[in-house]
Structure 1
């Protein structure tokens, strides 16, 4: 369901949202969790592990991928939000969590980087094996399929792995929606954004990011990654849960766009990579202060956030901030008591 330009459609109000972290940079089953989170250790035990070992736990690697499950009344929908780096780790992690990929109806891709799309072929194969061909829809936009590269300090351009194309995903049995516009997914349970405006003065992207259509072109600067998208779920009595896989747009720009789209709804949680590590560390102070007006109840930071940014956020916002880790699950449900982490 496409959203008309300038007229953001309201996502449905879901009664329940669960989030399973399938891929993330960090494995940390010991760190204290928010009251609505369950740790990797507990989840693999619930999935039937007979012992705790390297084989029964999950693999952390550079990348991000979530399984989102929503419910309104008796109607449930299941969606993957990115997949992460590579297929073997993704499939292993899903298996160790006891997740049935046959329940997945759609995959929402945030942007065309290998650490978010590398496992897409394996995910499609696993879903199609259970549900049949054309039973899963992959949502992308045309800007995701440029060749990407990074300019190293010595002047060498280091290419990134190409992501699977719409044709390749279709050949594997997926239905592909390749459109730059915002849209509602799965009966409106999920709002998949259009282009995120860059409006802050300090979130200017990475100057070392380059792109080109293919090797017939010269590399050109690509600091803004305008193909990046976010996903929003409106949970009854809580507000909006915003998923931003890498925040190439800048997390303050992300929240600014959320507020523009849905000015009367509180932002209950922001979850994902905030892209504040390494060369982006210089904007940590502005980012921390820039988030203050949004009064976000929970910030669940993972993937590319970086430890310096996580510490700065925690120093400012206290227990509102937590570290995402692979294998962790989160439940957003105002009517249910919060489980122990």
Structure 2
């Protein structure tokens, strides 16, 4: 397996996330939502000029290596209007997006996909955007409620629907390198730990199948990895249905000679998954991860437990934050007590 090229820089914009908090403590290489919207041209601070948070996750990733730049969306988040508003307020020109990696078939990661496709293709033209998916995500999903009823979830648009919007759909199950090798998209993530066994209330069914069946493992989930020169691997795990220890185990197996510099994403340790927090905290220890930037479905108890165990290596992801991974900007692990990047930031 060819590893991703070592890029000189990686810039991550959090376009969709559960939390909006410009005062959340951030890493030294992060810039807050407030600073970013002001830099994007906001003339005043207001509810309309800031971003909207909702249950979901979506990132814009930009890389540069050897004078070549690439831009990719890692999921899109829940809802089209929120996604487009957040892009507008951050000053994101969607004409630059060359590819979208859809991690799995859950609405909170791809609900905004049709709107994103429309906006990007409208700016770039038809057949200029790749959408990377895998065949197993195109099933109907549902959740088994406590009263025994089943609550269905919105489905991923079918490949034919995405193609009709002008996208070039790459529907493959295996791992692949994207955009000149700047990004590595995984195949199935092996489930090897004894404790990361998924959720028993997750169900699915195929087309024309009247019966729901258990789907605790969500084997369609994928992760994305970027190799930053001088730093190591930045691992993006959108929801960690596979379990973040399984994710890191697969990364280590695939790229044994490269350290894991950072993990970003939802760790799926909230609510009924809180029982896994102690095992997960200890299971991450052998990987010596430089930074854990946890958002979306991580949950506050897990965030606190990770921070107690790993200190300033752990921080809360929030919508509108921008992270720059660049060896020239590398500092020792640490956080700032207030958002960085904007002199004279107001204190209300």
TM tier, smaller: over 0.9
- For residue 234 of structure 1, give the secondary structure of its aligned residue in structure 2: strand
Deviation at 1:336, TM superposition (A): 3.3
Q: Deviations over 1:275-294 (max 9, x none)?
A: 00001000100000000000
Residue number in structure 2 paired with 1:172:
165
2 CA distance for matches of 1:215 and 1:161? 16
Q: Deviations over 1:15-43 (max 9, x none)?
A: 00000000000000012211000000000
- For residue 27 of structure 2, give the secondary structure of its aligned residue in structure 1: coil
1 CA distance for matches of 2:198 and 2:207? 22
RMSD between aligned residues: 1.0
2:257 corresponds, among 264, 267, 286, to 264
Residue number in structure 1 paired with 2:340:
340
2 CA distance for matches of 1:298 and 1:31? 16
- For residue 301 of structure 1, give the secondary structure of its aligned residue in structure 2: strand
1:16 corresponds, among 9, 17, 23, to 9
4+ residue stretches of structure 1 with deviation over 4 A?
A: none
1 CA distance for matches of 2:202 and 2:329? 44
- For residue 335 of structure 1, give the secondary structure of its aligned residue in structure 2: helix
Change (3 A) 1:12 1:200: same
Residue number in structure 2 paired with 1:36:
29
**Unpaired runs of at least 5, structure 1:** 1-7
What TM-score comes out, normalization by structure 2 length?
0.95
Deviation at 1:9, TM superposition (A): 1.2
2:304 corresponds to 1:308:
no
Residue number in structure 1 paired with 2:55:
62
Q: Deviations over 1:215-256 (max 9, x none)?
A: 533100000000000000000000000000000000000000
Residue number in structure 2 paired with 1:112:
105
2 CA distance for matches of 1:216 and 1:269? 41
What TM-score comes out, normalization by structure 1 length?
0.97
- For residue 21 of structure 2, give the secondary structure of its aligned residue in structure 1: coil
Which residues of 2 match residues 1-341 of structure 1 at below 5 A?
A: 8-336=1-329, 340-341=340-341
2 CA distance for matches of 1:177 and 1:74? 26
- For residue 327 of structure 2, give the secondary structure of its aligned residue in structure 1: coil
Deviation at 1:163, TM superposition (A): 1.8
Cα contact 2:203–2:216 (8 A) shared by 1: yes
Residue number in structure 1 paired with 2:335:
none
- For residue 318 of structure 2, give the secondary structure of its aligned residue in structure 1: coil
2 CA distance for matches of 1:166 and 1:37? 36
Deviation at 1:337, TM superposition (A): 6.5
- For residue 158 of structure 1, give the secondary structure of its aligned residue in structure 2: strand
2 CA distance for matches of 1:40 and 1:340? 10
1 CA distance for matches of 2:98 and 2:132? 11
Aligned length: 334
- For residue 28 of structure 1, give the secondary structure of its aligned residue in structure 2: coil
Q: Deviations over 1:155-199 (max 9, x none)?
A: 111101122111110000000000001000000000000000000
2 CA distance for matches of 1:62 and 1:25? 5
Change (3 A) 1:156 1:24: same
Cα contact 2:7–2:227 (8 A) shared by 1: yes
Cα contact 2:78–2:111 (8 A) shared by 1: yes
